[in-house]
């Protein structure tokens, strides 16, 4: 059980918010989950870019400067921890979906202790394809908004089997991502990862892997991936900011090994710059 050791709402140490909040009523908001190492937010600039894009898409006038200042303050004396920022449109000023424009965004920050590291996962995880599909919406794709029922239902699917992660496809049957991770396939000398412009999340660790692969001269392409292509991949790995890179050692009934490309990228991630 990982419960937060610090919670703030609009900068105040309280653990409640009004039931009129549009985040509750409609999932009307965005979030970021940020890792802290030695008092600093890792990949702060990338998190900030995604948060800005989310606020732009939802027409949410969040004070992003103030949000990051608070996150940095929460990180300051921490060796390792996880910070979550939730930004909602604030209280509903009328009944119904309509936005009046006078709403005042609300900022919630939660600090969680660093979870027990799962050393075994760095040697490979078990992944199963789930039935729950990701709906497609160009307006909502890529950003980390609060409408996450698809991920919740996918997690419920894998809870019984004890798999580490569920692999999700879109309503138009492309491979998109894990429930909490992005996915990469290695085909011969090329790395491919699904586009996230119709569904899926533009993960910060995904962006870091793409950047570092390019810097290292590895061939990497964002593309449409059909489920049948999974069988051709010589390596498969998952990414997110907490786990870093997880090699996949079982994908449905297929066994895989953590391969040389995955190992090379894993080695690069520990000391990657911001």
Interface contacts to its own copies, rule CB under 8 A: 1-4, 7, 9, 15-28, 31, 57-59, 82, 84, 86, 88-89, 93-99, 101, 108, 110, 112, 115, 131-140, 145-156, 159, 171-172, 179-180, 198-199
Q: Measure the CA–CA gap between 145 and 55, rounded to whole angstroms.
A: 9
Task: Please tell me the total number of residues recorded for the chain in this structure.
Answer: 274
Q: Nearer to its own copies by C-beta: 59 or 216?
A: 59
CB of 273 to its own copies, least distance (A): 27
Give the CA angle between residues 167, 148, 245 to the nearest 5°.
Answer: 45
CB of 254 to its own copies, least distance (A): 24
CB of 61 to its own copies, least distance (A): 13
Residues 6+ apart with CB under 8 A from 265: 209, 212, 213, 237, 245
CB of 92 to its own copies, least distance (A): 8
CB of 195 to its own copies, least distance (A): 15
Q: Nearer to its own copies by C-beta: 135 or 260?
A: 135
Q: What is the 3-state secondary structure (H, E, C) of 164-192?
A: CEEEEEECCCCEEEECCCEEEEEECCEEE
Residue with structure tokens 């599909």? Answer: 133
CB of 80 to its own copies, least distance (A): 14
CB of 213 to its own copies, least distance (A): 27
Per DSSP, the three-state class of 145 is strand
Per DSSP, the three-state class of 61 is coil
For residue 220, list its beta bridge partners: 191
Q: Nearer to its own copies by C-beta: 180 or 213?
A: 180
CB of 39 to its own copies, least distance (A): 21
CB burial class (10 A; 0-12, 13-18, 19+) of residue 99? Answer: middle
DSSP state of 115: P
Beta-strand (E) ranges in 45-136?
80-88, 106-113, 125-129
Q: Measure the CA–CA gap between 51 and 69, rounded to whole angstroms.
A: 14
Q: Nearer to its own copies by C-beta: 53 or 150?
A: 150
Q: Nearer to its own copies by C-beta: 13 or 65?
A: 13
Q: Nearer to its own copies by C-beta: 82 or 186?
A: 82
Q: Nearer to its own copies by C-beta: 137 or 223?
A: 137
Query: Which structure tokens are listed for 108?
Result: 């919630």
Give residue 142's Cα distance to chain centre.
Answer: 10
Q: Nearer to its own copies by C-beta: 22 or 261?
A: 22
Among 51, 41, 49, residue whose Cα is nearest residue 71? 41
């Amino acid at each position: 059980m990982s419960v937060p050791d610090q919670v703030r709402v609009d900068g105040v140490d309280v653990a409640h918010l009004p039931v009129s909040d549009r985040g509750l009523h409609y999932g009307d908001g965005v979030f970021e989950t940020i890792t802290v190492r030695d008092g600093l937010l890792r990949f702060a600039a990338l998190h900030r870019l995604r948060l800005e894009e989310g606020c732009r898409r939802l027409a949410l006038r969040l004070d992003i400067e103030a949000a990051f200042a608070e996150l940095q303050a929460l990180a300051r004396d921490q060796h390792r921890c996880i910070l979550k920022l939730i930004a909602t449109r604030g209280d509903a000023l009328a009944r119904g979906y309509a936005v009046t424009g006078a709403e005042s965004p609300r900022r919630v920050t939660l600090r969680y202790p660093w979870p027990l590291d799962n050393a075994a996962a760095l040697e490979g995880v078990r992944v199963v394809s789930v039935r729950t599909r990701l709906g497609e919406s160009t307006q909502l794709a890529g950003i980390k908004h609060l409408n996450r029922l698809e991920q919740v239902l996918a997690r419920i699917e894998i809870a019984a089997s004890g798999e580490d992660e569920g692999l999700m496809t879109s309503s138009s049957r492309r491979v998109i991502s894990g429930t909490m991770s992005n996915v990469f396939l290695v085909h011969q000398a090329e790395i491919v990862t699904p586009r996230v412009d119709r569904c899926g999340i533009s993960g910060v660790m995904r962006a870091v892997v793409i950047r570092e692969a390019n810097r290292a001269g590895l061939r990497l392409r964002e593309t449409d991936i059909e489920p049948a292509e999974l069988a051709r991949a010589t390596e498969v790995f998952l990414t997110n900011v907490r786990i870093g890179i997880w090699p996949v050692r079982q994908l449905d009934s297929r066994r895989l090994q953590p391969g040389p490309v995955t190992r090379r990228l894993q080695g690069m991630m520990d000391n990657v710059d911001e």
